[in-house]
Every structure is written in structure tokens, then in C-alpha cells.
Structure 1
Amino acid sequence: MLPPRRFLPSFSLLAAFEAAARTGSVTAAANELGLTQSAVSRQISALERQLGVALFLRERQTIRLTIAGDTYAREVREALRRISSASLNLKANPAGGTLNLAILPFFGTRWLTPRIGRFLDQHPGMVVNLITRLEPFDFRFDTLDAAIHFGVARWPGAALTLLMDEDVIPACSPAFRQRHSLAVPADMLRAPLLHLSTRPDAWELWLSRNQVPFDAVQGMLFDQFVTMVEAARSGLGAALLPRFLIEKELEEGRLVRAVDGEPMPTGQYYLAYMPDRATYPPLAAFRDWIMQEIGADTLALAGPIGQ
């Protein structure tokens, strides 16, 4: 249910206020909106009268947001952004059927994007918007229908569909393995190791799992898998990488297992969404499709992987 009409200012008033708040100038806001300065000033004053709150402090020829105005500006800006996004989605796909999906960069680049065409072929008319996200987000405020998520759930009340388990292997370039004479897990202590900032203890866990005593593990730090893969391919070090995301490099010999050993389980990937979106047709169709894709990949990955 919408709030009473008196709490719903017109779009023109909100647009004038947001532009003035963002630019810090009535003149700049007027130029941006194609209005006169006096028109923008009148719209801001009308908004303040409607709300019964002063949004700006007027000081000679300048304006400055009040504390209340600053808070209101942030919320109005996000609301206008969502309206703009919804309008763009509608224009791009007038028949409906748009899925806004947050993805992890490496998973999206290596696994999902090369396959998404098959989903679109099976569901003509549907549109999938991919939004790369590393930082936490909130389904209540973000214009997202679902997200590909790894690890522990961060969103209270969200539904999680398990997609797949992840395991990692120590990988490096063939020349790197030969140069450092890598053969058994203990040899890794003699080689430069590459680390992911979101998994800072990965090598410690791997060494402990392989019963290799160690004092400290150091090396280059990366914030994304994609750059760490390139560093490993370039011979800068060995990296613990998700096995299913480096299949191409392993098959082509650009990466090899640094040492023999079993893959190390690290966690699970989930499709996360709010329960009230579970039956949204594009989301339901995508959920069914991605489970089928993962099932086919699991069978293929069960075979031997090149060393």
C-alpha cells in the first residue's frame, strides 16, 4: 500500500532537489534540468513546504544541505536511480521478463557468461542483466532479483539454492613448476605463493591439510581471481585456484598442477534471492537452467584432468 499522497512529492520536485543537492548549486541544477534558477528555487521551496522540513541552508548566493536534507538526498537519489533502472529495463524489453543478477567477477567471466547464450536461446524475449558485485548488498534496496553467492549467507531471510561445491588445486605455469622443482606438497614452501585477499588463510589450510609444517606463508596479494590466474600463468607464483574455473588453462597446458594431491574443498556456490521472488518467471527459469548446466558440468568434471 502506498503512503498518503501528501507524503509523495512530484517527480519534478524531487528531481530539482536531487540535482541541487548533488551539485551544491541552484544554478548548476537549473542548467542540468533545462530550467531557470527561479524555477528550481520554487520547486525546492515547494518540496520543503510539502514536507514541513528545511532541506537547505541559504547563505547569500550559496546553498548547503541541512542534516535532514543530506539524509533525504541520499534516499531520493537511490529512489530516482531505481526508477531510471526500471525504465531502462522496460524500454529494453517491453514484453517483460528481465532478470537482474549479481555475479562474482571470476565466476561470471569464466563460467556463466560463455553459457548464458544457451539460456537466452531457450527463453526468447527474456533479458538477463549481469551486475558484478564483490561487496555485500541488500536485496531490500538493490534492484536485484538474485545473486550468485559463495560461502556463508549474508542476507537475513534470503532463500539459497545450492549450486555446486568448490575445490581448489595448487596451479602454476609449467616453467614455474620446473624452475622450482615442485613434486610434493612440502616443496611449495620453497616457491613464491599467490594469495587472494578474500581468502587470506587458503595456503595455510592447504599446507595443514597436506601435513606440511610451516611458520609463516607470504607472497603477492590479489583482490580477484582473474588477476591471480594471469599472474600464475606468467610464472609469478603458484596459486590455489578453483578447479572448475581453470579447466581451459589446464587442458591447453598454460597451467598445470604445481604438485600432486587431492583437491581441497573450500565451500559452496548458491543462487540467493528473496522468497517472494522465487516464482518470478525469469528467476524460476534461470534457476532450472543453471542447475541443468551444473549437472552436465559435474559429469564432465568427474573425468581425469590434465596435469
Structure 2
Amino acid sequence: MRRKIPSTTALICFEAAARHQSFTKAAQELALTQGAVCRQIGALEAFLNVELFRRLRRGVQLTEAGLSYSRQVAAQLDAVERDTLSVMRQQGANVIELAVVPTFGTQWLLPRLKDFQQRHPEVTVNLTNRTRPFLFADTPFDAAIYFGDADWSGTQSHRLMGENPTPVCSPALLHGQGQIDVQSMAGMPLLQQTTRPYAWRQWFNGLGLTVPGDMAGPRYELFSMLAQAAKHDMGLALIPPFLIQRELEEGSLVVANRYALASHKAYYLMIPERKVQSASLQAFRDWLVEQAVQYTDTTRTDQHN
């Protein structure tokens, strides 16, 4: 069945005229005559059976329908242009579109990604933030790094590392002490992570304690937000140390108590089953798992020293 879609030329002329509120300026931008732009927009109005512009003595003005349609058309033309440029860039290249949870991507993966580029200069890795699972068939992603239990239908999972979050705060909250005892912590503001709503309860329960209000406190979606709030003396935050290495090294955040919450879930690389034979993804998988093992081994060595 033939699609009910107007000509691309008409849509481009309409978008330019709507943006400039002028047929003349649209014609200048598109290197067309004003008459050609008028004809294209007239044909579009006839196709839609809707008036898009009011013709005035001193120019044109969008109707309500024209204003609404122009916003939709502009967004769709932008998307087509973006996808076209993406295809042009990727021609002949090996590109991995990777969905990644935000703070892990910026704090752990990106500082190491140069090593992969040096080993595999023929492969380009593009990163996009995604905080929750999705259907690969509905997206352009080739793989994903997410935190969970690897229960993702139609994928092959590769465990990278657990979180083992530790209570941290600004040095000011320590008041010169080495760390804060658990009883004192129970009475302090507890910063919450939106996707880990039971983290503080699990942390206190691990020490055999039940603390009223362990789920109270301001909530933040990202660990990076939690870290910023903790740095500004807003309370205690449970954060995996590998996500705040810089802050711990420079002393803007300090460990408030050395008890770490054991991770039952972990960070995984998830690859759709239909793409597991991709040479680029196999190279990235092997490199990423190697990096995770090296980091985990180094962390264990440091903890025992």
C-alpha cells in the first residue's frame, strides 16, 4: 500500500519557510526561486487539505495547524539528516553502538577506552546512556553494559564486576575522626540512589541492624549526582569506590565506614544473540572482560595490603 507521505521537497520548503516565517528567505536558503517555494507549499497544503500559512500583505504567518505541523516536520527532518550522516560516517567502518549506564560509562569505561582504540583502530565505539533494559530489536544498539542479574531475554551475558558500595562523605562530616561508627551514621542524612532503593537497608542489615528511616533522604538518579551531594556536605552516600576513584584520591570524598555492601547483582556486557558472531563485538568483549578482571584483581590486592 502506498504511504500517505507528501514529497520531501515540499516538506523541506515548508520547514524552511516556517522557520523563517518568510517564503523569500526560505527560497534564498534553499537556492530556489520564491515562486518554486510557493508552489511546493501550495501543493503541500492541497495534499493535506489544510491551510498552513496565512498570506498577509507584508508576508506570511503560520496558522495553528501550520505551527504544530512545522514542529513535527522539523523534528523528523532532523532525525533523517542525523541517520543519513550516521550511515555516511559508518560506510566501510566497524562501528559498535553501545548503551551504557551513565556513571559507569564516564568514570570507569571512558578512561580505559583509549587502550581499546589503540589495539583496534579499525573499530569505532559510540556510547549512549541507558539506565534500564530495553528491546534490542527496537533500538540501533549492538550491545549494552547494565547493572542487574543478567536476566535479559535473547542476549548473551558477560559478567564484569560487582559494585560493593561503601559509605562515603565529605571530610567535613568526619570531624577529624578516622571513620564514623554505625550508630552515629544511623542518625545522619542518608542520600538515596533511585535505582538502588534498598541499598542502605541492606547495608545496615548486613551489620545486623534495623534502622528507622533507612529509606528516607533525598533521592538521586545517578551515582555522579550522589557523589556531588556528598561532596557538598549533604549527607552519607553508598557508592562503589571504582566510580569515585578521583574524588577519593584527591580527598574531596572519604570513606565514612569500611564495611562494604556485598553485591548480589553486577555489571554485565549484554550482546544480542544475533550479533555474537560479530568480529568487532568479540574483540570488544574480550578486551572489556580483560579490563574488568585486571581491575578486580588490582582492587583485591590493594585491599589486602
Letter in 1 for 2:54: R
1:113 & 1:274 partners in 2: Cα distance?
22
CA deviation string 1:208-267 (max 9, x = no partner): 332222222433433322232233244432110013323444455543331242433152
Report the counterpart of residue 81 of structure 1 in structure 2: 82
1:306 & 1:254 partners in 2: Cα distance?
24
1:14 & 1:143 partners in 2: Cα distance?
26
Letter in 1 for 2:266: Q
CA deviation string 1:174-209 (max 9, x = no partner): 442246885433321122222223333322232233
Indicate how the Cα distance of structure 1 residues 262 and 107 shifts in structure 2: closer, same or farther if over 3 A, else same: closer
Report the counterpart of residue 262 of structure 2 in structure 1: 264
1:32 & 1:154 partners in 2: Cα distance?
52
Is the Cα contact below 8 Å between 1:251 and 1:305 reproduced in 2? no
Indicate how the Cα distance of structure 1 residues 298 and 260 shifts in structure 2: closer, same or farther if over 3 A, else same: closer
1:158 & 1:220 partners in 2: Cα distance?
35
Report the counterpart of residue 127 of structure 1 in structure 2: 124
1:154 & 1:26 partners in 2: Cα distance?
54
SS at match of 1:131: strand
SS at match of 1:219: coil
Q: How many aligned positions are there?
A: 295
Is the Cα contact below 8 Å between 2:194 and 2:220 reproduced in 1? yes
Q: How does 1:86-101 map to 2 (within 5 A)?
A: 86-87=87-88, 89-90=89-90, 95-101=92-98
Q: How does 1:35-54 map to 2 (within 5 A)?
A: 35-43=32-40, 54=48
1:224 & 1:278 partners in 2: Cα distance?
30
Report the counterpart of residue 54 of structure 2 in structure 1: 60
Q: CA deviation at 1:43?
A: 4.2
Report the counterpart of residue 114 of structure 2 in structure 1: 117
Indicate how the Cα distance of structure 1 residues 168 and 262 shifts in structure 2: closer, same or farther if over 3 A, else same: closer
Choose 131-140 or 288-297, whichever is displaced more. Answer: 131-140
**Cα RMSD (Å) of the superposition?**
4.0
Is the Cα contact below 8 Å between 2:99 and 2:143 reproduced in 1? yes
Q: CA deviation at 1:54?
A: 2.4
Is the Cα contact below 8 Å between 1:182 and 1:188 reproduced in 2? no
Report the counterpart of residue 202 of structure 1 in structure 2: 199
Structure 1 unaligned blocks of 5 or more: none
Give me the identity figure in percent. Answer: 35
Report the counterpart of residue 211 of structure 1 in structure 2: 208
SS at match of 1:194: strand
Report the counterpart of residue 222 of structure 1 in structure 2: 220
Q: How does 1:1-307 map to 2 (within 5 A)?
A: 12=9, 15-16=12-13, 23=19, 27=23, 30=27, 33-43=30-40, 54=48, 56-58=50-52, 60-61=54-55, 62-63=62-63, 65=65, 73=73, 78-87=79-88, 89-90=89-90, 95-134=92-131, 139-151=136-148, 157-178=154-175, 182-217=179-214, 218-250=216-248, 253-265=251-263, 267-305=265-303
Letter in 2 for 1:210: L
TM-score, scaled relative to structure 1: 0.74
